[in-house]
Amino acid sequence: MRTLLKNCTPVDPKNELPDRADILLEDGQIAKITNSQTGKNNNQNDKTLDLKGAMLLPGLIDMHAHFREPGFEEKETIRTGSEAAAAGGFTTVVVMPNTRPVADNPATIELIKARAAEVPVDVKPLGSITKGSAGNELAEIGFLAQSGVLGLTDDGQPVMNSEVMRRAMEYASDFNLPIISHCEDLKLAAEGVMHEGYYSSILGLKPIPAAAEEIMIARDIALAELTGASLHIAHLSTKRGLEMVLEAINKGIKVTAEVTPHHLTLNDKAVLGYDTATKVNPPLRSEEDRQALQQALKEDEIAVIATDHAPHTIEEKMGTFDSAAFGISGLETAVAVLHEDLISQQKLHWDKLVELMYYNPAEILQLEVEGLKEGTPADLTVFNPKKKWQIDPGKFKSLGKHSPYAGKDCTGKILLTIKEGQIIYDDRGDEAEILY
């Protein structure tokens, strides 16, 4: 069975492509790419989809998501998380190890891989740095490497003991695994619930200073220099943190950083009104921080945009701001929000988005990718830049139905997600469908 995607606008900064292309899919691969104007591709037997100029991207990679399985299946499962990924245009998702039990052992990794084999989206696990992510003893990093984890992190439970972090970096280097660090000085963050600044002061909410993140970024950069390890800073959110990462890169230290769509598009003013959907860690920062992150995207200082998709149950997100869980359900809004607030405003280019959400995460995690190229697996994301819609978390495929973007009007939506030639998400009809 062959499928022909006609009249799409391909986006891929690393491959030479026509402005308007027809893409022929066969046996799960991109069989042929031809110029829509000049090429002849019509075979009566092909299933043909006219994409009418929609953007065609390589299937996006989210290198920071929480699928909660095993242990917290009421929040999300690998199946529901994958559906959310498909609806958001992601064909590969890297999942965090803060499950129950923590993914600090090969058995848990094998379970995640077995569940992942049941869904078409590539779900790839990370392992924890320390046993139980308790920050004391190293996890069996060698066994984790053998079972195929792409990196190591104690996301959400930062390793506070610098000696342990140093040894983890050294040991992980032996297996060529990057350390992904959630940078937060827990003592300084002191049970805070939002960014420290004017808005925390008038809302009376316990503040988290930017310094709580920056101190740990400084520490981890120093340790990366000491050990020569590859360090990836998760969800970077402050201006000073950014400056430190840039300085480290310029010194030749192996450090990369990711930012989230929410830290690029929202600031701490969004917390006025105590909407628990805005409660996230790291917290939504100041407008100055937000602008610095946005500027850094343009200047190639940030390698990756990742969602930090962190679903919770309704009960965990209702109630008062203090009592609500941290986290944003972000897979299904990421691309639309980035398009609405950055690409449409000429603050981000499509080519750049493909680097940030495809080539660079693949490089950091050592995944082999080749972009839109004949003879490679047909993992594709199709985005209709004209579709008008309103974000309604109630309609999310994710079990986490909470978003600070609830009610936001967007122009532009994921139209198709294709995994190895199969359409796994289709929004051409009246109701968006998951097709698996």
Partner 1 sequence: MLKQRKDFLGLYDVPGEDIKEILTTAQSMKDIFTRSIKKVPTLRGKTVVNLFFEPSTRTKSSFDLAAKRLSADVMSISKKSSSVVKGETLLDTARTMERMGADIVVVRHSHPGAARYLANNLQAAVLNAGDGAHAHPTQGLLDIYTIWEKFGEIKGKKVLIIGDIAHSRVARSNIWGLLNLGAEVRVCGPSTLIPNRLEKTGVKIYNNIDRAIEDVDAINILRIQLERQESGLFPSLREYRFLYGINEERQNNLKEEALVMHPGPMNRGVEIESSVADGRKAVINEQVTNGVAIRMALLYLLAGKEVQHENLA
Please give the residue ranges that form the binding site for partner 1 (CB under 8 A): 196-198, 200-205, 207, 209, 273-274, 318-323
Query: What are 283's two structure tokens?
Result: 């917290």
**In the complex, least distance from residue 196 CB atom to partner 1, rounded to whole angstroms:** 5
Name the 3-class secondary structure at 16.
coil
Q: How far is residue 186 CA from its own chain's centroid?
A: 24
Which residues are registered as beta bridge partners of 2?
A: 26
**In the complex, least distance from residue 315 CB atom to partner 1, rounded to whole angstroms:** 8
**What CA–CA distances, in Å, run from 27 to 180, 185, 194?**
36, 50, 49
Task: Specify whether the CB–CB gap between 219 and 245 falls below 8 A.
Answer: no
Name the 3-class secondary structure at 63.
strand
> What phi and psi, each to the nearest 5 degrees, are found at residue 91?
-105, -10
Task: Specify whether the CB–CB gap between 286 and 316 falls below 8 A.
Answer: no
How far apart are the C-alpha atoms of 361 and 305, rounded to whole Å? 8
Residue type, 305: I
Residue placing its CB nearer to partner 1 in the complex, 146 or 323: 323
**In the complex, least distance from residue 289 CB atom to partner 1, rounded to whole angstroms:** 14
Residue placing its CB nearer to partner 1 in the complex, 312 or 413: 312
Residue placing its CB nearer to partner 1 in the complex, 161 or 323: 323
Q: What is the DSSP string of 195-211?
A: ESSHHHHHHTPPEE-HH
**In the complex, least distance from residue 204 CB atom to partner 1, rounded to whole angstroms:** 3
The closest of 12, 31, 16, 63 to 367, measured between CA atoms, is: 63
Classify residue 103 by its DSSP letter: S
Instruction: Name the percent of the chain in helix, strand, coil, to the closest 5.
Output: 30, 25, 45
Residue placing its CB nearer to partner 1 in the complex, 205 or 216: 205
**In the complex, least distance from residue 187 CB atom to partner 1, rounded to whole angstroms:** 11
Residue placing its CB nearer to partner 1 in the complex, 175 or 198: 198
Name the 3-class secondary structure at 227.
helix
How far apart are the C-alpha atoms of 92 and 108, rounded to whole Å? 19
**What CA–CA distances, in Å, run from 129 to 37, 295, 327?**
52, 32, 22
Residue placing its CB nearer to partner 1 in the complex, 67 or 199: 199
**In the complex, least distance from residue 401 CB atom to partner 1, rounded to whole angstroms:** 17
**In the complex, least distance from residue 210 CB atom to partner 1, rounded to whole angstroms:** 10
Please confirm, yes or no, whether 308 is among the known catalytic residues: yes
Residue placing its CB nearer to partner 1 in the complex, 201 or 345: 201
Query: What are 295's two structure tokens?
Result: 């500027």
Which residues are registered as beta bridge partners of 416?
A: 382, 426
Residue placing its CB nearer to partner 1 in the complex, 194 or 242: 194
Sign of CA dihedral 257, 176, 69, 361: positive
How far apart are the C-alpha atoms of 412 and 293, rounded to whole Å? 23
How far apart are the C-alpha atoms of 142 and 38, rounded to whole Å? 53
Name the 3-class secondary structure at 383.
strand
Q: Which of 308, 341, 379, 426 is catalytic?
A: 308
**In the complex, least distance from residue 198 CB atom to partner 1, rounded to whole angstroms:** 4
Residues designated as active site: 308
